[in-house]
Amino acid sequence: MRLLIAVHDLTDSNRRLMPWRTVCEVTEGARQSGHAAAVLSLGNAGRCLSGDNFLRDDFSGDVIQVNKSKRLLAGELEKVAAGFKPDVVFWPVAWREAAWRIGAAGSLRVPVVGYFPGGAYSLPTALNAARQIGVKRALPYVREAAANKKKQVRRLKAGGFERIIAMTGFTAQQVIWAGYEKSLVYAIPPGKDAAGGFEASDLPEDFNAWLSGRPFYLFMGPPARIRGVFEMLEAFDRAADKHPDVCLVCLFRPDSRLDASRIERKINALKYRHRVYPVWEMLDEKARNGFLSRCFALVQPFVVVPSEIPLAIIENMAWGKPVVVSDAEGTGEFAQPFGLVVRPGNTKALAEAMRRLLADENLYAGKAAQAKALYEKHPDWAAVAEKWVDAAASLWG
């Protein structure tokens, strides 16, 4: 088969992040299985050149880039379809997806498999996000939560979207409820790295001297309010008041400064700031694994989850570590067996969950064992790619 897999705004800096990582891994996995596969990057007008500057004559490049503006998208997609000649197009969808963009994908007269790259959001979660991160930042999530899902399914079906891929069972159930037959909906999570385990480097000497053998919670992600960093810091201060040895390590991914300056001020204002160890530079995989392998547990208290099942949670499972995570619909459901799940933005509940894991050895041991067991069963990226290809192949029975 010839598979064209579309995604919004793929760049060199985000291709290792979700949801772009899934698209890149599926594309490579499909190629390894003998299929012709290419990524179609839908770029923003003003930031993406259009036309022949981006479309190679042989359409054999790793990425085909087009301008996704309303004025240009349909014409550029027609050009891509004429050159690449896909048998199936995978297309990113959302409940708030514009009708004209659905129509542009459907106008190719090629079977389309839609996939949800984002998370699933209830209206209470989205409205809480508006209070936590501001109306402007939360507006896409509010629109997503409030969208008429059954109406959107009718649009997708009319646009030639014959199959749907969700990254969690939670979102898959929403799609089925909204009108797709169960047999047409696939729940396929992000994958784990190939068998053989992770390599972990030794932790820095200055960090070991600071830690002095104490247990620490670990946060990994950009310094952004949407990640629940402010609530996490307040919750840690509460938990640290009851547990004199517990520490917090924050690996702040510096792909953007975002709310970094405010977070620095927040850390400095904590009662137990001397037990918080922030890292502001980018670490390689071995260094990150060094922290994961030594941490007590991972804490990822999202206000909302931009893309379901963040890779940090899957990487954490490999080391048999519990996770404390916010109840962000699909992500919370996925993590519940090996973690403690709390309402987004609830600082008191987050602190209590952190204290419970520290105080209850049986609870901790059970969650840790579940993390390891579920990781062993989790599909690797090759298996994820195979499942996506199977979804496309099912179009021909």
Tell which wins on pLDDT, 235 or 254: 235
Tell which wins on pLDDT, 306 or 355: 355
Do the domains 2-191+379-396 and 205-377 sit in the same CATH topology, yes or no?
yes
Instruction: Provide mean pLDDT across the span 165-187.
Output: 96
Q: Where are the domains of the chain?
A: 2-191+379-396, 205-377
Instruction: Provide mean pLDDT across the span 252-280.
Output: 89
Please say whether the beta carbons of 331 and 119 come within 8 A. Answer: yes
Per-residue pLDDT at 255: 65
- In degrees and rounded to multiples of 5, residue 70 shows phi and psi of -60, -35
Per-residue pLDDT at 345: 85
Q: Is the pLDDT of residue 1 over 50?
A: yes
Give the model's confidence band at 102: pLDDT under 50 very low, under 70 low, under 90 confident, else very high.
Answer: very high
CATH of segment(s) 2-191+379-396 = 3.40.50.2000
- Provide Rg for the chain, Cα atoms: 22
Per-residue pLDDT at 195: 64
Q: Is the pLDDT of residue 272 over 70?
A: yes
CATH of segment(s) 205-377 = 3.40.50.2000
For the chain, the average pLDDT equals 90
Instruction: Provide mean pLDDT across the span 179-201.
Output: 88
Structure tokens at 78: 């027609």
pTM: 0.91
Instruction: Provide mean pLDDT across the span 363-380.
Output: 96
Roughly how many angstroms between the first and final C-alpha of the chain, as a whole number?
14
Q: Tokens 């963040």: give the residue.
A: 310
Q: Is the pLDDT of residue 313 over 70?
A: yes
Please say whether the beta carbons of 139 and 148 come within 8 A. Answer: no
Q: Is the pLDDT of residue 129 over 50?
A: yes
